[in-house]
Amino acid sequence: MWQSFDFPTDTLLPGQVVDELTKLYSNEKGTVDYSTGNFMLEMQKDGNLVLSAYRFSDPGYWYTGTLVTNVSLYFDPKTALMYLVNGSNVNIHALTKNISIPVEDYYHRATIDDHGNFQQYVYPKVNGRNWERVWRAVEEPCFVNSICGVYGFCTSPDNETVSCSCLPGYIPFDPNDLSKGCHPEIVLNYCADPSIRNFTVEVIDDADFPFEGYADLARVRNVDVEGCKKAVMDDCYTMAASLVDSRCIKKKTLNARKSVSTKGIKALIKVPMKINDPGILPEKKNSNDRVYLAVGFITSGVLAVLSAAFAVYYHPVARRLVKRKHFQNANAIGINFRQFTFQELHEATNGFSKTIGRGSSGKVYSGVLSSKDIHIEIAVKKLEKAIEKGEKEFVTELKIIGRTHHKNLVRLLGFCIEDGHQLLVYELMKNGALSDFLFGKEEKPIWIQRAEMALGIARGLLYLHEEYQTKTITNIRGTMGYMAPEWLRNAAVTAKVDIYSFGVMLLEIICARRHIELSRVEEETEDDDLVIIDWVLSCLISGKLEKLVGHDSEVLDDFKRFERMALVGLWCVHPDPILRPSMKKVTQMLEGTVEVGIPPLLMKG
């Protein structure tokens, strides 16, 4: 029997209900593209009805604030009003209050549209020509987060129409569809050398950058435009600022808007200066006539976030040094990262004395770069293993990393290639590695944190694989247990190796245990629980998946999502890369926007 009425997609009709954990998704683009879009309406478990730009790890831009358990959104067929009811069917929060009457003379619907707004419409049954809006959740369209994509600038002078463009210094990913967002025209690392002012600060009148919690770095009070400009220029971590009255609110991430309520506010943004001839650059002090360029495959890993950031995953690799007869400045060949000397990093890390991580390609050390009164905490990866790749590919990969911008990805600050040393310098994420957070001595993170972490990592990988439209292979971890079988049998390596590594990590996160438990080797047990893949597979085949979570009541209360994530994990770790899904499909399965299906591993034998 056809039951789509019980499972609305982007539209709600009279008589339909949005209950706990039910989600409505916008389509991609009006009547042109009906695939799943960027926005979601969700009735959360805590009773809060939330609109969010879920693909951007957005916590929400509109919500009801009804923090009561067992809440549902009801579209009343008799009154055509929408309201929230509690477990006793008592109206606790009204959405629509006025409606065209008599109700029976109109058709009614409520839709989450491709601009991220949830709106209710009526259509006269007699002589009807158009759907007329009677209510909307967001009164100012530009207040929908990421409506114009990352680094987008939303303009809505009448709070009805929406126009997308790029911020100064940015260019569109797709000139034919500006809502897909933008990327920097010139990539600069403002913290590489704070003494160099190779940028300007532009002012946009009557515009604002949304408040986004962790994206607001600091507030400078009692300043004018020039004072706010100086605050932006002097802070290498600040990308922009909003000047509201005399308060300069510094920002790290960028999505700007200009609408009715932003009148009188000034938006300030750093814009790199263009160099007419990038091959002619001033020489730096103490620069040698020769520099060594590493040759290798470099990628940044994935940072799963909850609030700001929980963990960093990265795996860079490079091959042995190639000596050049003539000096090539990194900026001259289009790499906008700081090129450190080995002595600088040796001093910054106090002689590489504090190890904070270790991988198959080398160790990671913490350190502090100091310049005048500015101190930047860094993580330095000292590479030990190398692979055969050309200088051109190394440069290309650095350019790719320089143009990746996603809130779930750790930032590469620079590199060093000197006298046999190969190092990469990253922004230090103070909350430590994901493995420490999951398997450390402290109490393990709760289920909702683990689920959001897994989704955050997936979205970061999706950005690298598809949204940025590169063939980047991140190789989340290069150690045994995470490596896809094709690495070991010297077969062709594609982006599907990342899918395998992510699958292992996903099972680790949801089960809160390592991929292999060596402590169980000596234990006598009937469970096939030494290797996490085998354990999950065994529990699914035997119909005892709950054994994976023990007595964790939070997971048991959300068991359908746990089961879905476990199935996605098994899809990812199939030994045949052809049968592994794409990262886009993986993300959609985790989000619940497409069916998971039965993993091929469960159908073997």
Q: Which residues pair with 256 in a beta bridge?
A: 153
Burial of residue 358 (number of CB atoms within 10 Å: 0-12, 13-18, 19+): exposed
Please check if 382 is assigned to a binding site. yes
Spatial CA neighbour of 500 closest among 549, 569, 451: 569
Interstrand relation of 412-418 and 421-427 (parallel, antiparallel or unpaired): antiparallel
Please give the structure tokens belonging to residue 41.
């309406």
The CA-based dihedral angle spanning residues 556, 561, 563, 566, taken in that order and rounded to the nearest 10 degrees: -120
Q: What sign does the CA torsion over 322, 328, 330, 334 have?
A: negative
C-alpha distances in Å from residue 484, one per residue of 312, 371, 499, 502, 505? 20, 43, 9, 10, 12
Q: Which residues pair with 50 in a beta bridge?
A: 42, 63
Q: Is the bond leading into 102 cis (omega within 30 degrees of zero)?
A: yes
Q: Which residues contact 600 (CB under 8 A, 6 or more apart)?
A: 571, 574, 576, 579
SS3 labels along 17-30: EECCCCEEEEEEEC
**Residue 222 region by backbone torsions, left for phi larger than 0, else alpha for psi between -120 and 50, else beta:** left
Please give the structure tokens belonging to residue 415.
């590199």
How far is the first Cα of the chain from the last one, in angstroms, to the nearest whole number? 32
Cα 436 versus chain centre, distance: 21
C-alpha distances in Å from residue 408, one per residue of 181, 386, 437? 17, 27, 16
Q: How far apart are CA 79 and CA 417, in angstroms?
A: 71
Burial of residue 236 (number of CB atoms within 10 Å: 0-12, 13-18, 19+): middle
Please give the structure tokens belonging to residue 237.
């971590």
In terms of residues, how long is the chain?
605
> Binding site for ATP: which residues?
382
> Binding site: which residues?
382
